[in-house]
Amino acid sequence: MLRISLAAIAIYCSTLLGFSQTLSDSSSYKNRKLKVDEVNFVSSYYKQDGNNSAVTGGIGSERLTDFATTIDVVLSRYDFRQRKHTMTGEVGVDVYTSASSDMIDPSTISSASSKDVRVYPSITYAITNEAKRSTVSVNGSVSAEYDYLSTGVGVGWSKFSKDGNRQFAARGQLFLDTWSVILPIELRSSEHNGKEPRNSYSASFSLSQVINKRLQVIMLLDGAFQEGQLATLYHRTYFNDGTLKVEKLPDTRLKLPIGVRLNYFLADRYILRAYYRFYQDNWGMAAHTAELELPVKVTPFFSVSPFYRYYQQSSVKYFRQYQQHTEDQEFYTSDYDLSKLHSNLMGMGIRYAPPGGVMGFSRLNALELRYGHYQRSTGLNANIVTLLAKFK
């Protein structure tokens, strides 16, 4: 079952920054009162279908719809040392329906996970020392739905070079998650209940360098380690002798992605954005992602952004198709998200940001609408429409 989070949608809308201008305050006076810098509203509708549901052992409907909305508010002020304090508060809500989750207990009219609501508030506090060209930040988050609770904390640090052409950033994140044990109806027993933990630790580093007036390069390095209940206990696995068990995976996983992003200004009206990432983990999966986007400024205030992303991955060593597992295997899954596959995502973004505000509303700084179509070699297809409104 493929799920798209609001964090991914926020990145998906990132071309909002494509033709923005940086404004600097040249006055010596800094307002020490807390003020609202901006408010961002993002709403999306996602729909997918396929025939490889992990809930039913790698076969069955993957129909899913997700309506997601997030609102963030950015507040700032300067202290007596002329440091900028920025606080960003965000609240997101996902409402989804899933045909595959409804098969956890097909004897019911609708099982508890067939439709659900996920709520995920977060807050980030950052202090920027403009004299030292550095920023430190802390953040906290919570995500909750019917069978899952996640709490997260993180810290970050970044620093610009003297000429402003280079930036280094580092970030650490910890998530402490708890799963409620939900098994397929036919595999439930009195000893299978309660909750299972899963902890995730990650560190990310980036180095951004302006090569010349037209070219910017960003190097990205991430690392993540997970421990605890990494298998989804309501995913069925069917063996070649007809037996049935719940998915079983190792209780640790190490992930190491590395990537590079290029932004090249072809001319006043065109920007070429290119991205590549290589991923490797200790479950045997290796993956490549390549993405191109070409924002085009049709008028000074209106732009379009066609984009394309290609992705391919190898299978984890524990994956087998329906009824292909053997009893001598220690770990096993029929989740096609962990299978060998390739995918294509293509679409278009449209952005309108007139200087006097959208439709005469001076505070409505920009509107952006994006559409993407996703195709996967396993047969899964999806469409997503995203609306972003920015108020300043």
CATH number at residue 69: 2.40.160.40
Closest to 233 (Cα-Cα) out of 262, 191, 176:
191
In a domain, 46, yes or no: yes
State which amino acid sits at residue 28: S
pLDDT band for position 173 (cuts 50, 70, 90): very high
pLDDT the model gives residue 5: 42
Model confidence at 23: pLDDT above 60: no
In a domain, 30, yes or no: no
Mean local confidence (pLDDT), 27-38: 74
pLDDT tens digits, 99-136: 877 788 776 544 445 678 999 999 999 999 999 999 99
Q: How far apart are CA 154 and CA 224, in angstroms?
A: 13
In a domain, 28, yes or no: no
Residue with tokens 């202090």, as numbered in its chain: 127
Q: How many domains does the chain have?
A: 1
pLDDT the model gives residue 361: 84
Q: Are 172 and 192 in contact (CB under 8 A)?
A: no
Q: How far apart are CA 186 and CA 18, in angstroms?
A: 52
Model confidence at 293: pLDDT above 70: yes
Q: How far apart are CA 317 and CA 354, in angstroms?
A: 52
CA angle, corner 43, sides to 39 and 49, nearest 5?
160
From residue 307, how far is each of 216, 289, 389 by CA, in Å?
19, 13, 20
Model confidence at 62: pLDDT above 80: yes
> Residue 192 is part of which domain span?
6-20+35-391
In a domain, 1, yes or no: no
In a domain, 328, yes or no: yes
56's CB contacts (< 8 A; 6+ apart) are 100, 103, 236
In a domain, 117, yes or no: yes
In a domain, 27, yes or no: no
Mean local confidence (pLDDT), 86-91: 97
The token pair at 381 is 């297809």
In a domain, 266, yes or no: yes
Q: How far apart are CA 358 and CA 98, in angstroms?
A: 37
The string of DSSP letters for 93-141 reads EEEEEETTGGGSSTTSSS-TTSEEEEEEEEEEEEEEETTTTEEEEEEEE
| DSSP conformational letter for 44 | E
